[in-house]
Amino acid sequence: MKIRRGDTVMVIAGKEKGKSGKIERILADKNRVVVEGINMVIRHMRPRPDVRQAGRVQKESPIHLSNVMLLCNKCSKPTRVKATYLEDGKKVRVCLQCRETID
């Protein structure tokens, strides 16, 4: 995967198109990510001793990886990512629009 936890991404398809947020969790086996504040759903939680809050709880639902694009730190545009190696052998991600390293 070319995105990591903590990256800022923009939604490019679906009902949340155009919104951006930070990645909270990656579900690699299902090719999905959880982005904070995006794709909110209401869950009805039954009161139990181990549940903090009962009733209607809003939480983020996973969104498919193909529906998000990484936002570049420098140019602030959604971009594709290219992996390159530095002179010291370290692998970094590079923005294809402004050629700036992301890591």
Are the C-beta atoms of 43 and 73 separated by less than 8 Å?
no
Beta bridge partners of 40: 60
Tens digits of residue pLDDT in 24-38 = 999 999 999 999 999
Highest CATH level, class, for 1-71: mainly beta
Beta bridge partners of 94: 82, 101
Q: What is the pLDDT of residue 29?
A: 94
Closest CA to 67 of 28, 18, 101: 18
Is the pTM here over 0.75, yes or no? yes
